[in-house]
Structure 1
Amino acid sequence: MTTKVTVWNEYRHERNDPAVGALYPNGIYGAIASFLSEAGFETRTATLDEPEHGLTDDVLRGTDVLVWWGHLAHGEVGDETVRKVKERVLDGMGLIVLHSGHHSKIFKALMGTSCDLLWREADEKERLWVVSPGHPIVEGIGAYIELEKEEMYGEHFDVPAPDELIFTSWFEGGEVFRSGCAYVRGNGKIFYFRPGHETYPTYYHKDIQRVIANAAAWARPVRRSRPAYGNAKPLERIGGKA
């Protein structure tokens, strides 16, 4: 069964900054959706300024994995949309949060912390080291991914300890960062992946594309009945009573 992926993006930088618009003429969401489609996923896109931010009940019901990129306008995402996305994740929908999406309302709601960090824009080399080489998210990836220029994110990253740490980044200025963090919340899987500043061609890098595609496959829902909750009748007799 084909995995259905919705790529969500504010689509503000691309319209307001000519340099970003030139780099991503079809939007950051368009670039991501394109390579995921080439990888065999059924993709659709949604943006901040669409009705209900493009995440209607029908869209969310038809989404196996939601990819989230936000930066300028985290506060403009409606709380009701955040609530619905969170419920879908807890029910089994996968969520991939990219780069500055660490400050999104949905990621904070699922982490329960500030999700804050250090940052610097200085055209630094980033080397993302694979620290969990047996994980499916790094299938086809070598010992590390090297990006010539990226924005620096540094520790301390105020998130819960990941269930699985997949990448650790080193930056030219000396900082390190937990740049690939995998979590389970309820029935859903979450992957936070650090690279992707809007002024760099990061989403055209084949290894970055491979990681995101691998993550989408990893995060898709398990095809099974969801657990039942609430009062339960005994499966066996208790104390000899019928």
Structure 2
Amino acid sequence: MTQVTVWNEYRHERTNPIAMDIYPNGIHTAIATQLQEEYGFSAQTATLDEAEHGLTVEVLNRTDVLIWWGHMAHDEVDDEIVNRVQARVLEGMGLIILHSGHYSKIFKKLMGTSCALKWREADEKERLWVVNPAHPIAAGIGEYIELEQEEMYGEHFDIPTPDELVFVSWFEGGEVFRSGCTYSRGQGKVFYFRPGHETYPTYHNPQIIRVIANAVNWAADGRGAQPQYGHVPVPLEQIHR
């Protein structure tokens, strides 16, 4: 059974009355519960204020896919934990970065860019167009997902060119955005998925959870050959001098 860990700062839901009302037990709990009950994953949660941010060596070693939501406390994430997560991704753990996690230390470290973008909060309609309908992350979605209210993210999004682009968003105010991007880093698969502002019920939308579940399956899927690094004292063939 695929083991998922949903990580969340869990700050907005304890300080913002609107977020608290929408996600009384936190965004992490809302996502983990649906992934477990509706898709059969084994899902646990971890939050910023736990010891080692809940991401101990033991937790990460048994995690197949880590889901990450952060916003107001990116700088509070300890660099040692970031390095630990990066190492697990390179070893083969899947990573799904949600919404404002684009500015997280771990995403910026893996991307090697600023991951900067434009944004606006104006209760705008968002339409996420499926631009790669053959991709498994888009399975069962149809042509688009429509969200009546969301925070706008706009281009330019300072990320490396995605390995695959699955979704492109259009917003009521006119902006567009690369909203579903895949990458390979070492043996690990990374997916960035844009929707999920804390004051909107985005993670109660069945299609959004379907995308996240699809991404879990994709990120946990089998890997290729295991590379070997370091000194090779014995050659495969005899060396003639």
Instruction: Quickly name the TM-score band, shorter chain normalised.
Output: over 0.9
Tell which deviates more after alignment, 164-173 or 223-232: 223-232
SS at match of 2:6: strand
Structure 1 residue 227: Cα displacement: 1.7
Q: Deviations over 1:148-196 (max 9, x none)?
A: 0000000000000000000000000000000000000000000000000
Determine the C-alpha separation between the residues in 1 that align with 2:18 and 2:141: 30
Aligned to 2:213: 213
Q: Deviations over 1:43-98 (max 9, x none)?
A: 00000000000000100101000000000100000000000000000000000000
SS at match of 1:181: strand
SS at match of 1:101: helix
Aligned to 2:131: 131
Q: Deviations over 1:186-236 (max 9, x none)?
A: 000000000000000000111101000000010015367732112233323
Q: TM-score, normalised by structure 1?
A: 0.96
SS at match of 1:14: helix
Contact 2:92 2:223 in 1 (8 A): no
Determine the C-alpha separation between the residues in 2 that align with 1:158 and 1:225: 31
Aligned to 2:185: 185
Contact 1:90 1:185 in 2 (8 A): yes
Where in structure 2 are the equivalents of 1:198-209 lying within 5 Å?
A: 198-209=198-209
Aligned to 1:23: 22
Determine the C-alpha separation between the residues in 1 that align with 2:57 and 2:222: 20
User: Are 1:85 and 2:122 counterparts?
Assistant: no
Determine the C-alpha separation between the residues in 1 that align with 2:48 and 2:93: 20
Contact 1:93 1:221 in 2 (8 A): no
Aligned to 2:235: 234
What is the CA RMSD across the aligned residues, in angstroms? 1.2
Aligned to 2:69: 69
Structure 1 residue 117: Cα displacement: 0.1
SS at match of 2:142: coil
Aligned pair count reads: 239
Structure 1 counterpart of 2:100, which letter?
S
User: Are 1:9 and 2:12 counterparts?
Assistant: no
Determine the C-alpha separation between the residues in 1 that align with 2:225 and 2:60: 18
Where in structure 2 are the equivalents of 1:29-178 lying within 5 Å?
A: 29-38=28-37, 39-178=39-178
Determine the C-alpha separation between the residues in 2 that align with 1:167 and 1:235: 45
SS at match of 1:30: helix
Structure 1 residue 113: Cα displacement: 0.4
Contact 1:92 1:221 in 2 (8 A): no
SS at match of 1:132: coil
Structure 1 residue 108: Cα displacement: 0.3
Q: TM-score, normalised by structure 2?
A: 0.96
Q: Deviations over 1:112-148 (max 9, x none)?
A: 0000000000000000000111000011010000000
Contact 1:85 1:106 in 2 (8 A): yes
> Identity of counterpart residues, as a percentage?
70
CA pair 51-221 structure 1, distance change in 2 beyond 3 A = farther
Unaligned runs of 5+ in 2: none
Runs of 4+ more than 2 Å apart = 221-226, 231-239
Structure 2 counterpart of 1:84, which letter?
R
Unaligned runs of 5+ in 1: none
